[in-house]
Amino acid sequence: MRYLGHLPRHDPVYGYLYDRIFARKLGVYPRQGFRVFAASAADNVYVYEDRQHGRRVLGKYFKRSGRAKSTPNAAHEYQVLKNLQAAGLDRGQHRVVRPLGLTLDFADALFEEFECGEPLYRVWTRTRPGTDDRDMMHALSDLAYLLCRLHNRTAGDETVDFRGEFDYFDKIVARLWRRRRARQDQIDALYSARHRWEQDSQMYADRRVRLHGDATPANFIVGGTHRLTAIDLERSHRGDRAYDVGMVAGELRHWALRQFGDGARAEPYIGHFLWEYARHFPDQSRTFRAVTDRLPFYMGVTLLRIARNSYLSDGYASALVHDALACLRR
């Protein structure tokens, strides 16, 4: 975090934090005011620290002007977190972050408990496959349990609307085309593969669950031994549990390919994560097979999503598109 200074008392955020968050929700009266920190390189996430007691609260600010209807907003994420809180998912060692407040008066802002710890991607970064990976294995077990807990607590009666994922697929492929990161023959192959998945009845068979929606290693905080918290649920929606599971698998493939130049080095970790996820069901083997059968589609989409990022080299993006096609063709 980067220290920015003190929050001015005339700032509308000051009164909101003092009265609605610290006094009412936390039972703390920050009479000496607040220190402000930038939580990341992004310009929309800040940490407010009570100077007297040291309690911290995180504030996320969402842009208002020119926002498309599909763009995540503060009210959506706040409602998702409140619903998960009502289901008891903000408690325990494996949980979602606790929401504290929402204001739409002077800004679209969501306030949450500040989570101490390190992002999961740091555990991945210092892992050396086969030699120094104990923390990685433990972290993936914790992630599997957290996602399983989220999915199972929120399962409904409606079955998965698989075709509902196609708009997102189209947007990703369109961006790859515009950035010249996929050739026309690859675009044709992607849509041919999608058509085959569309005909597969198992893609519609499971019940819809509440998804994290952006299950990247940056969006989980490791707070100690077997303590993991999910943050940034702004893209949460209802869908197939294999969406989140497949995203984790795709991120693991990306991690191995980028860090070691060999995506295959992720396979033991993907297998461990899937087996751990299935372990929390009555029939572990059946769940493992069912999720694994659907996973390649979502894993492939995740690799395509990563490939569209402009900070990646064209050569590396091409490798991701190649891997994505292999997944989608299974």
pLDDT digits (tens, 9 = 90+) for 219-269: 999 998 889 999 999 999 999 999 999 999 999 999 999 999 999 999 999
Please, what's the b/e burial string for 226-265 (b: 16 or more CB within 10 A of its CB; e: otherwise)? Answer: ebbbbbbbbbbbbbbbbbbbbbbbbbbbbbbbeeeeebeb
What does the DSSP 8-state code read for residue 114?
P
Whether 164 shows a pLDDT value over 90: the answer reads yes
How many percent of the chain have pLDDT more than 70? 97
Domains of the chain: which residue ranges? 2-113, 118-329
Q: What is the pLDDT of residue 70?
A: 45
What does the DSSP 8-state code read for residue 129?
T
Q: How far apart are CA 307 and CA 292, in angstroms?
A: 23
Structure confidence by residue, pLDDT tens digits, 70-87: 456 899 999 999 999 999
Whether 203 shows a pLDDT value over 70: the answer reads yes
Enclosing H/E stretch for 110: strand 108-113
- What is the topology classification, in CATH, of domain 2-113? Phosphorylase Kinase; domain 1 (3.30.200)
* Mean pLDDT (the chain, rounded): 94
Structure confidence by residue, pLDDT tens digits, 81-111: 999 999 999 999 999 999 999 998 888 899 9
User: pTM of the entire structure?
Assistant: 0.94
| The CATH classification of domain 118-329, taken from the options 1.10.3720.10, 3.40.50.2300, 3.90.1200.10, 3.30.9.10 | 3.90.1200.10
